[in-house]
Amino acid sequence: MVVQIPIQRIQVPPGQRVLLREVSWEEFEAILQELGDRRSERVAYCDGLLEIMAPLPEHEYFKETIGDAIKDMAETLDLNYESYGSTTWRKQAKQAGLESDNCFYFQNEARIRGKLQFDLTQDPLPDLALEIDVTSQSLERFPIYARLGVPELWCCDTGRLRIYHLQDEQYVEVECSSIFPQLDIAALSRLIEAKRSEGRLALRRSVRAWVRQQMQEWGERPQLHCPTSYLFSSRFPEVLENVPAQISHLQ
């Protein structure tokens, strides 16, 4: 099948999606090159289906806000991380590819530190990907992430955050993050909603203060039922020991 209409002529209104069928892998890569990096549209590909989506302002707001919150949590906890935004991740062998709304390396940060190009036959996928879902999707993205092998997904639907872990090639909703098991992510959703009218700077300060408070209370609360073996359980004593210094530095 040959795409007859130049991809640049396909206009996708904000909040809408276009689904192209019978698109070969070679055509998918050619379309990515033609679209270029300087664009607002997001793409997803699976088994010959190609979706092109134009985000709404609501989508972009939550993408930036939650992405900032993840960075603020990591920095307050003194966790090394790297963010690669809406990078296109794809594996020809899996016939799957997509652009996340944001993505982060934590456990594998040292392996990709400073990298500007990736070879997914050798380099790891991000440890966490963020998906903002404020409109219906014609192409399911969870199976694509599962094929690629991203361990943890954060999905935000109209402000509510849900966390999913990859288990047996499927995503299962869980109560807490493997990366931030000591933090109540449901409370983070409520904090973002409560502080939305106060502006970005106030919100980011509130997130950092909330993390410090959560860490101070960590030793007093019951242990959360969350799989911690995947990432940072060995660093918790170090993080707790550094909380006073973090508070002094960030206030």
Q: In the β-sheet with 82-83, what is the strand arrangement from edge to edge?
A: 82-83, 102-105, 128-132, 152-157, 160-167, 170-174
Q: Where are the alpha helices (DSSP H) in 81-235?
A: 109-112, 142-148, 185-195, 200-217
Tokens 């960075």 sit on residue: 71
46-85 per-position pLDDT tens digit: 999 999 988 889 989 999 999 999 999 999 999 999 999 9
Domain ranges of the chain: 56-250
Rounded distance, CA 28 to CA 106, Å? 29
Q: What is the mean pLDDT of the chain?
A: 84
Question: Could you report how far apart the first and last alpha carbons of the chain are, in Å?
Answer: 59
Rounded distance, CA 15 to CA 26, Å? 27
Q: Given pLDDT bands bounded at 50, 70 and 90, which one contains residue 243? A: very low
Helix pair angle (57-76, 185-195), 10° resolution? 120
160-195 per-position pLDDT tens digit: 899 999 999 999 999 999 999 989 998 999 999 999
Verdict on whether the full-model pTM lies above 0.85: no
Q: Given pLDDT bands bounded at 50, 70 and 90, which one contains residue 109? A: very high
Percent of the chain at pLDDT exceeding 70:
80
Buried b (16+ CB within 10 A) or exposed e, 84-111: bebbbbbeeeebbbbbbbbbbbbbbbee
